[in-house]
């Protein structure tokens, strides 16, 4: 799913995609590859006659360069979210040109510039008549005008400049207040984004940005042998260069870093999606060894990983674009976006070539255009290592990203009702509260009436907020089973089981897995033989969560051994207190027992307890598996995965000065935040009435693997303390996390599901 969620944003995204496709913007990136070597080594590329194509004027005419700028300065009065959608769409076609540095420069001037600076600079940037380059790394030394300069002299506060101010194009420079302009600049900027076409250059001096005219005396614009020439990278050499009088942008480096990271992440999301699409289309038609290559599990897993990376990049970029400007949490969101999206783009670009094989390694194929762009963005717009360090530093400083979902007007009525119920709940004797919750529908509000409230996404969110202080019983797996019974059970079963279950008298587990089947839920060997009035069950189930705490279970049994694998299965409700049922807890590697083996020895199940039709139990079982994610947010990562915070404490106590470990912690903090953002996007889309999306399918996979990475890094940080009992809680979590990529379907099966059900790749032979 792209960044756009609202109707307006989706319309804008469609316009950008149509423009990028109809103008074949990717061809510009390819043409630049031919011109790139000509610029390399040139001492002044301003003399090469590098010009922008007609697409630049059209982009400007569409108003995209000024989307985020005030109307009084030639903009449209929107913001970073709209600009990010344009960046995403252009990134999907690896569009050439200075879009990124020009809009970032304009954003910086709009936020920290004086009125005079905004008046002088923004209109030209908004209408495309002025192009800006941007650099965030430099070795520049300011000195007083007319004063002697010694290379390498210590820096310090820039002295004030006396005398007439330099002029900018179009007339005398307006008077500037709020800063001191250094007289001259000496040194080098190793890489300025968009510098080939720039009329003004924004370069860093300490925490500030300086605006320097491209025609300034003493400035040399040197060509580079760039990996991606379509971005117009140059080096800038300064020899006593006088900046513009409008040139000092106080605190501009921080703002430019945040905006560049955000928009580069958006471009990375678009490029990553395009690389995935390119690889997927090829995998669906290319044949090897007599099969479509997309049917091979290894290829499916590569493509599933590409989808996970793309969705993660999209979520992180989306959040960075919507974060409140000027606040530290916006800096955190942008650093997270760079940490997640830029490497994700690199991974998908590399894998696109791998899946294409030899053809993807040829000059004529466009796959390497994405590889080049991804590498340059990661180096220039990050760099990724610096972004990881910023995530760590901001997290250590206590900065957190606060989330809120805009709710419709009717949410106020939901809130009034919920608050009234909460008052009634607290006035009710504790022993009667479970029944009150169940009978009111607030126990399972998303269910249909009479058991739930048929609450839509907005009401579910309100209930979650208002019930924050109430210990609502978690039905967990039992809830999936009961919901299945409401969907496939008989009227008599619903009347007999539902109310006692919601009241807590009956507690259910799911009896699907078997020793010889693993994640193959249809590999059922437990037999049911027809007897008078019902069925006689013999067999074994395993890995049954909570069976030792339950008195009922929904089981799949084989009632027709001669039928096809998926057609001889029947689903039954089994009384776990009945004769012949033996529940044996399984001791895990942690030493504790949460799973169980369940043995059936001539267990009688009456016909009245068969759920659904005989031999049609696979349909019922699939409904139960699907109900795992039926609640809003049901696909979010579990508490065991929301644990990256423990790494901050471990790092502070065991390795506070280890830079490499610190970056790795920052990387996992960013990954954890992004996993939550995937779920948040699903919620926002649901509230807006959007279509189902793949985020829920991805969250389980991400959550399980993330929890393992957290505990593994925790053990590395703790060192000896992790194995001597000093960090006992960490050691326990390290062991426990090993089961998360197995329970509920292995990560390998999850990747197959993503590849087959979301990406539309062929199923494995024999599994149809």
Q: What is the distance between the alpha carbons of residues 671 and 316, in angstroms, rounded to a whole number?
A: 9
Which segment of 146-150, 343-347, 416-420 scores lowest on mean pLDDT?
146-150
The beta strand positions in 118-183, using DSSP E, are 132-134, 139-143
In the predicted model, is pLDDT for residue 153 greater than 60? no
Confidence of residue 177 (pLDDT cuts 50, 70, 90): very low
pLDDT on residue 622: 81
Q: Are 68 and 103 in contact (CB under 8 A)?
A: yes
What is the mean predicted confidence (pLDDT) over 107-135?
A: 95
**CB count in 10 Å sphere of residue 479:** 23
CATH of domain 7-148+179-250: 1.10.540.10
What is the mean predicted confidence (pLDDT) over 166-189?
A: 53
| Phi then psi dihedrals of residue 598, to 5 deg | -130, 120
pLDDT on residue 38: 59
Q: What is the distance between the alpha carbons of residues 626 and 479, in angstroms, rounded to a whole number?
A: 12
Q: Are 708 and 719 in contact (CB under 8 A)?
A: no
Query: pTM for the whole thing?
Result: 0.88
- Burial bucket for residue 188 (CB in 10 Å: 0-12, 13-18, 19+): middle
pLDDT on residue 476: 84
Structure tokens at 323: 């974060």
pLDDT on residue 172: 31
Q: What is the distance between the alpha carbons of residues 271 and 277, in angstroms, rounded to a whole number?
A: 10
Residue 350's nearest CA partner among 424, 275, 281, 258 is: 275
**CB count in 10 Å sphere of residue 361:** 12
Residue 329's nearest CA partner among 411, 398, 272 is: 398
Confidence of residue 42 (pLDDT cuts 50, 70, 90): low
- DSSP code, position 607: G
Confidence of residue 406 (pLDDT cuts 50, 70, 90): confident
pLDDT on residue 166: 30
Question: Partners of 222 in the beta sheet?
Answer: 235
pLDDT on residue 256: 97
In the predicted model, is pLDDT for residue 44 greater than 90? no
In the predicted model, is pLDDT for residue 178 greater than 90? no
Q: What is the distance between the alpha carbons of residues 507 and 477, in angstroms, rounded to a whole number?
A: 10
- 628: annotated active-site residue: yes
pLDDT on residue 767: 53
Confidence of residue 516 (pLDDT cuts 50, 70, 90): confident
C-alpha angle with apex 462: 458 to 468, nearest 5 degrees?
Answer: 145
In the predicted model, is pLDDT for residue 471 greater than 70? yes
CATH 2.40.110.10 domain range(s) in the chain:
482-629
Cis preceding linkage at 383, omega within 30: yes
In the predicted model, is pLDDT for residue 49 greater than 50? no
In the predicted model, is pLDDT for residue 148 greater than 60? no
Q: What is the distance between the alpha carbons of residues 368 and 370, in angstroms, rounded to a whole number?
A: 5
Mean pLDDT in the chain?
88
**Is 287 strand, coil or helix?**
strand
| Phi then psi dihedrals of residue 198, to 5 deg | -70, 140
Q: Are 271 and 95 in contact (CB under 8 A)?
A: no
Structure tokens at 615: 């031999």
Confidence of residue 152 (pLDDT cuts 50, 70, 90): very low
Structure tokens at 36: 């790139």
For the stretch 289-307, pLDDT in tens is: 989 999 999 999 999 999 9
Mapped to the 3 state alphabet, what secondary structure does 230-245 carry? HHCCEEEEEEEECCCC
**Is 654 strand, coil or helix?**
helix
Is domain 639-758 annotated with CATH 3.40.35.10? no
What is the mean predicted confidence (pLDDT) over 253-280?
A: 98
**Is 73 strand, coil or helix?**
helix
What is the mean predicted confidence (pLDDT) over 655-681?
A: 94
Query: Residue 72 to residues 58, 81, 103: CA-CA distances in angstroms?
Result: 21, 20, 17
Q: What is the distance between the alpha carbons of residues 622 and 611, in angstroms, rounded to a whole number?
A: 13
Residue 408's nearest CA partner among 458, 335, 338 is: 458
For the stretch 73-87, pLDDT in tens is: 999 999 999 999 999
Q: Are 695 and 682 in contact (CB under 8 A)?
A: yes
pLDDT on residue 698: 86
Strand order in the sheet with 219-223: 139-143, 184-192, 234-241, 219-223
- Burial bucket for residue 169 (CB in 10 Å: 0-12, 13-18, 19+): middle
In the predicted model, is pLDDT for residue 91 greater than 60? yes
In the predicted model, is pLDDT for residue 678 greater than 70? yes
Q: Are 244 and 212 in contact (CB under 8 A)?
A: yes
pLDDT on residue 90: 97
Q: What is the distance between the alpha carbons of residues 178 and 513, in angstroms, rounded to a whole number?
A: 70
In the predicted model, is pLDDT for residue 641 greater than 50? no
Q: What is the distance between the alpha carbons of residues 430 and 147, in angstroms, rounded to a whole number?
A: 82
| Phi then psi dihedrals of residue 29, to 5 deg | -65, -35
Return the H-helix or E-strand segment holding 191.
strand 184-192
pLDDT on residue 469: 85
What is the mean predicted confidence (pLDDT) over 745-761?
A: 91
CATH 1.20.140.10 domain range(s) in the chain:
639-758
In the predicted model, is pLDDT for residue 174 greater than 70? no
Question: 116-153: buried (b, 16+ CB within 10 Å) or exposed (e) per residue?
Answer: bbbebbbbbbbbbebbbbbbbebebbbbebeeebeeee
Q: Are 547 and 598 in contact (CB under 8 A)?
A: yes
For the stretch 8-24, pLDDT in tens is: 999 999 999 999 999 99
Q: What is the distance between the alpha carbons of residues 682 and 396, in angstroms, rounded to a whole number?
A: 29
pLDDT on residue 520: 74
Query: Residue 594 to residues 513, 544, 545: CA-CA distances in angstroms?
Result: 15, 8, 6
Percent pLDDT > 70 in the chain is 89
Is domain 482-629 annotated with CATH 2.40.110.10? yes
**Is 539 strand, coil or helix?**
strand
- Biggest CA–CA distance in the chain, Å, is 108
- Catalytically annotated residue among 628, 640, 705, 727: 628
In the predicted model, is pLDDT for residue 136 greater than 80? yes
């Amino acid at each position: 799913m792209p960044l756009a969620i609202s109707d307006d944003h989706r319309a804008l995204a469609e316009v950008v995609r149509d423009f990028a496709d109809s103008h074949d913007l990717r061809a510009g990136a390819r043409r630049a590859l031919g011109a790139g070597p000509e610029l390399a080594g040139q001492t002044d590329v301003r003399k090469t006659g590098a010009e922008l194509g007609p697409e630049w004027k059209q982009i400007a005419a569409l108003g995209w360069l000024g989307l985020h700028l005030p109307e009084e300065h030639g903009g449209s009065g929107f913001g970073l979210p709209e600009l990010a959608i344009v960046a995403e769409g252009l990134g999907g076609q690896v569009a050439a040109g200075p879009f990124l540095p020009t809009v970032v420069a304009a954003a910086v001037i709009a936020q920290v510039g004086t009125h005079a600076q905004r008046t002088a600079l923004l209109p030209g940037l908004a209408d495309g008549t002025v192009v800006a380059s941007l650099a965030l790394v430099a070795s520049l030394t300011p000195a007083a005008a007319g004063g002697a300069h010694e290379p390498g002299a210590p820096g310090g506060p820039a002295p004030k400049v006396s005398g007439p101010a330099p002029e900018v194009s179009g007339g005398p420079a307006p008077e500037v207040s709020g800063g001191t302009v250094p007289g001259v600049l000496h040194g080098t900027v190793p890489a300025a984004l968009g510098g080939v076409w720039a009329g003004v250059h924004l370069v860093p001096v300490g925490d500030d940005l300086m605006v320097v005219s491209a025609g300034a005396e003493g400035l040399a614009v040197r060509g580079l042998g760039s990996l991606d020439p379509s971005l117009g990278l140059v080096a800038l050499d300064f020899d006593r260069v006088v900046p513009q009088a409008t040139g000092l942008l106080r605190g501009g480096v921080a703002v430019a870093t945040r905006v560049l990271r955000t928009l580069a992440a958006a471009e990375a999301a678009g490029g990553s999606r395009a690389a995935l699409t390119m690889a997927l289309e090829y995998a669906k038609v290319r044949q090897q060894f007599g099969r479509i290559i997309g049917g091979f599990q290894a290829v499916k897993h590569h493509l599933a990983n590409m989808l996970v990376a793309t969705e993660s990049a999209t979520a992180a970029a989306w959040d960075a674009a919507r974060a409140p400007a000027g606040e530290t949490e916006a800096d955190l969101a942008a650093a997270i976006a760079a940490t997640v999206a830029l490497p994700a783009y690199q991974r998908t670009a590399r894998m696109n070539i791998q899946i294409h094989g030899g053809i993807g390694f040829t000059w004529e194929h466009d796959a390497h255009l994405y590889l080049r762009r991804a590498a340059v963005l990661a180096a220039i717009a990050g760099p990724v290592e610096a972004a990881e360090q910023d995530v760590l530093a901001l997290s250590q400083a206590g900065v957190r990203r606060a989330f809120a979902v805009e709710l419709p007007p009717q949410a106020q009525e939901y809130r009034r009702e919920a608050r009234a119920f909460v008052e009634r709940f607290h006035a009710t004797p504790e022993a009667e509260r479970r029944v009150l919750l169940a009978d009111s529908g607030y126990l399972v509000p998303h269910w249909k009436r009479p058991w739930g409230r048929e609450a839509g996404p907005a009401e579910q969110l309100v209930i979650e907020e208002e019930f924050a202080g109430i210990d609502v019983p978690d039905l967990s797996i039992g809830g999936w089973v009961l919901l299945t019974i409401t969907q496939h059970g008989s009227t008599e079963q619903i009347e007999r089981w539902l109310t006692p279950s919601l009241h807590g008298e009956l507690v259910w587990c799911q009896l699907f897995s078997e020793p010889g089947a693993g994640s193959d839920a249809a590999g059922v060997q437990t037999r049911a033989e027809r007897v008078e009035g019902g069925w006689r069950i013999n067999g074994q189930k395993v890995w049954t969560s909570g069976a030792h705490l339950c008195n009922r279970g929904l089981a799949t049994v084989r009632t027709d051994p001669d039928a096809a694998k998926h057609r001889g299965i029947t689903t039954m409700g089994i009384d776990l207190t009945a004769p012949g049922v033996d529940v044996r807890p399984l001791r895990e590697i942690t030493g504790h027992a949460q799973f169980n083996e369940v043995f059936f020895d001539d267990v009688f199940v009456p016909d009245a307890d068969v759920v659904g039709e005989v031999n049609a139990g696979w349909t019922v079982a699939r409904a139960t598996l699907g109900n795992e994610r039926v609640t809003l947010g049901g696909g979010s990562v579990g508490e065991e995965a929301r644990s990256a915070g423990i790494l901050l404490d471990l790092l502070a106590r065991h390795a506070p000065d280890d830079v490499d470990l610190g970056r790795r912690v920052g990387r996992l903090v960013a990954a954890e935040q992004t996993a939550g953002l995937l779920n948040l996007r699903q919620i926002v889309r649901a509230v807006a009435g959007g279509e189902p999306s793949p985020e829920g399918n991805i969250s389980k996979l991400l959550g399980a693997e993330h929890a393992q990475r957290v505990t593994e890094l925790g053990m590395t940080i703790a060192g000896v303390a992790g194995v001597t009992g000093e960090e006992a809680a960490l050691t326990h979590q390290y062991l426990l996390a090993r089961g998360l990529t197995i329970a509920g379907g292995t990560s390998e099966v999850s990747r197959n599901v993503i590849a087959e059900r979301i990406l539309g790749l062929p199923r494995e032979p024999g599994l149809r």
